[in-house]
Amino acid sequence: MPAAAREPPSDAYSRTTRDIRVVVRPRFVPEQSDPDRGRFVWAYHVRIENLGGETVQLLARHWLITDGLGRVEEVRGPGVVGEKPVLKGGESYEYASACPLATESGAMEGSYSMIAGDGTTFEAAIPAFSLHRPEAARRPN
Does the pLDDT of residue 48 top 50, yes or no?
yes
> Does residue 33 fall inside a structural domain?
yes
The answer to the question of residue 62 being in a domain is yes
Q: For the chain, how many structural domains are there in total?
A: 1
In a domain, 136, yes or no: no
8 domain-assigned: no
| Domain assignment present for 135 | no
Q: In 12-44, which positions are buried (b, 16+ CB within 10 angstroms) versus exposed (e)?
A: bbbbbebbbbbbbbbebeeeebeeeeeebbbeb
Residue pLDDT, tens place only, 84-129: 999 999 999 999 999 999 999 999 999 999 999 999 999 999 999 9
What CATH number has the domain bearing residue 77?
2.60.40.1470
Which residues partner with 110 through β-bridges?
63, 126
pLDDT band at 11 (very low <50, low <70, confident <90, very high): confident
Domain enclosing residue 120, as ranges: 14-129
- Confidence band (pLDDT; 50, 70, 90) for 6? low
Asked if the structure places residue 9 within a domain, the reply is no
Q: Is residue 55 one of the residues assigned to a domain?
A: yes
